[in-house]
Amino acid sequence: MRVYARFMSDCHCTTLRAATRRIGALYDGALAPFGVSGAQFALLRRVRALDGPSLSQLAQNLELDRSTISRNTRVLQRAGLLQLGPCAHDKREQTATLTAAGAALLHDAAPVWQSCQDEIATRLGPARTAVLHDLLDLI
Tell me the domain boundaries of the chain: 35-108
For residues 119-137, one letter each, b for 16 or more C-beta atoms within 10 angstroms of the residue's C-beta and e for the rest, the string is eeeeeeeeeeeeeeeeeee
CATH architecture for the domain at 35-108: Orthogonal Bundle (1.10)
List, for residues 49-79, the tens digit of each pLDDT value: 999 999 999 999 999 999 999 999 999 999 9
Contact 90, 54 (CB under 8 A): yes
pLDDT over threshold 60, residue 128: yes
